[in-house]
């Protein structure tokens, strides 16, 4: 009897510890970006609710794993989770960059089959669980230091990621890919005349100091999501999976916040002296149409298998 009780005392903490899984998570966006601030707040909440079940250990941003390596790290299980965007892991599978082209909120993607299709492709081609989209309602813009009076970027050198490559190239730009962490230096040295970025976030790394113009309208919708290594996901218990999915879902459900953030950032840019180059009427329509046409042409070219189906599911009817 005595021995049994002792064994129970000794084994109880072990059993509890065995039930807790800790997953490593990284961000492909710089440590000091607002996306990461929001991620850390979410992780704190998850860790306090997930005691004894599931914990997340934030390893860091691009200093830990470089921006364009994060997708591979998740795919191979070097880390179990990441906050990143599809444009940063086209080196895992090229369809990843298509998420910028969705024309309906993620809530609707979960209803119309788009989300299921994304999950299937991400699992098959990336060994990833596409868990939740945690940024939306953030159109991309072209930011410039030289003025333009029509949608023609000939003679301009623009910083890009895969998001903007097809579109800005179509407009005649010379393009140069960099991670977000290298944008400031590229502007400072005059290596580029402008860059692509969503409506929000340019203040995180002081790019406003090196930005004269924003071109309106914006185009596409910035996608930032939580992805999980599929093997790590399968190793979780049903209860842990349910917990992680519902925590991620509750962050996704708060995406309306990004609408307000976009307005605030627009005002902040005006106050910082950034002038708007506004394309109007037919020119504005052509600009946005060109963005989608060149974007889809690029995706369909690299993925004749999934591109057309994604286009059908992602396009507003």
Rule CB under 6 A: which residues touch ligand 173?
85, 87, 161, 163, 180, 196-198, 222, 224
E strands along the chain, which residues? 21-27, 54-60, 81-84, 128-135, 140-144, 157-160, 174-177, 194-198, 213-219, 224-229, 275-278
When the beta carbons of 216 and 236 are compared against ligand 173, the nearer one is 216
User: Measured from the CB of residue 164, what is the shortest distance to ligand 173 in angstroms?
Assistant: 7
Q: Using the minimum distance from each CB to ligand 173, give the nearer residue, 224 or 244.
A: 224
Write the DSSP symbol of residue 87.
Answer: G
Nearer to ligand 173, 26 or 87 (CB): 87
- Sheet (strand 21-27) strand order: 54-60, 21-27, 81-84, 224-229, 128-135
Query: What's the min distance (Å) between Cβ of 136 and ligand 173?
Result: 10
Q: Are the CB atoms for 79 and 229 separated by under 8 Å? A: yes
In angstroms, the CA 56 to CA 250 distance is 16
Minimum CB–partner distance for residue 87 and ligand 173 (Å): 4
CB 81 within 8 A of CB 25: yes
Q: What backbone phi and psi angles, to 5 degrees, belong to 264? A: -60, -40
Residue closer to ligand 173 (CB basis): 98 or 163: 163
Instruction: Tell me the C-alpha distance between 178 and 290, whole Å.
Output: 23
Decide whether 96 or 240 has the Cβ nearer to ligand 173. Answer: 96
Nearer to ligand 173, 175 or 232 (CB): 175
Q: In angstroms, what is the minimal distance from the CB of 135 to ligand 173?
A: 6
Least distance from C-beta 179 to ligand 173, angstroms? 7
Token pair belonging to 107: 């809530």
Angle at 274 between CA 61 and CA 216, to 5 degrees: 90
Rounded to a whole number of angstroms, the minimum distance from the CB of residue 47 to ligand 173 is 25
Nearer to ligand 173 by Cβ, of 224 and 236: the residue is 224
Least CB distance from residue 84 to ligand 173, whole Å? 9
Whole-angstrom CA distances from 248 to 14, 42, 47, 202, 238 are 28, 9, 13, 25, 15
Shortest Cβ 253–ligand 173 spacing (Å):
20
Rounded CA-CA distance 218/142 in Å is 8
- Looking at the Cβ atoms of 30 and 50, the one nearer to ligand 173 is 30
Give the 3-state secondary structure of residue 27.
Answer: strand
CB atoms within 10 A of CB 70: 27
């Amino acid at each position: 009897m005595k021995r049994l009780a002792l064994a129970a005392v000794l084994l109880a903490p072990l059993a509890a510890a065995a039930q807790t899984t800790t997953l490593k998570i990284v961000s492909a966006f710089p440590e000091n970006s607002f996306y990461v601030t929001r991620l850390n707040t979410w992780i704190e909440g998850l860790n306090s609710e997930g005691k004894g079940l599931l914990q997340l250990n934030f390893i860091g941003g691009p200093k830990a794993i470089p921006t364009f390596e994060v997708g591979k790290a998740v795919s191979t299980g070097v880390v179990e989770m990441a906050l990143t965007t599809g444009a940063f892991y086209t080196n895992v599978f090229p369809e990843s960059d298509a998420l910028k082209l969705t024309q309906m909120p993620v809530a609707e993607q979960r209803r119309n089959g788009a989300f299921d299709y994304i999950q299937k492709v991400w699992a098959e081609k990336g060994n990833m669980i596409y868990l939740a989209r945690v940024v939306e309602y953030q159109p991309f813009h072209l930011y410039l230091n030289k003025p333009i009076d029509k949608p023609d970027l000939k003679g301009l050198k623009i910083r890009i990621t895969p998001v903007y490559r097809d579109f800005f190239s179509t407009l005649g730009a010379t393009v140069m890919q960099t991670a977000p962490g290298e944008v400031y230096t590229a502007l400072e040295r005059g290596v580029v005349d402008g860059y692509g970025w969503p409506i929000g976030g340019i203040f995180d790394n002081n790019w406003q100091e090196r930005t004269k113009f924003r071109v309106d309208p914006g185009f596409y919708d910035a996608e930032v999501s939580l992805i999980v290594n599929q093997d790590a996901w399968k190793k979780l218990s049903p209860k842990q999976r349910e917990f992680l999915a519902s925590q991620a879902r509750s962050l996704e459900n708060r995406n309306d916040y990004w609408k307000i953030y976009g307005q605030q950032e627009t005002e902040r840019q005006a106050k910082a002296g950034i002038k708007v180059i506004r394309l109007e009427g037919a020119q504005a329509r052509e600009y946005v149409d060109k963005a989608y046409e060149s974007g889809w042409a690029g995706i369909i070219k690299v993925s004749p298998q999934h591109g057309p189906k994604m286009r059908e599911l992602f396009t507003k009817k």
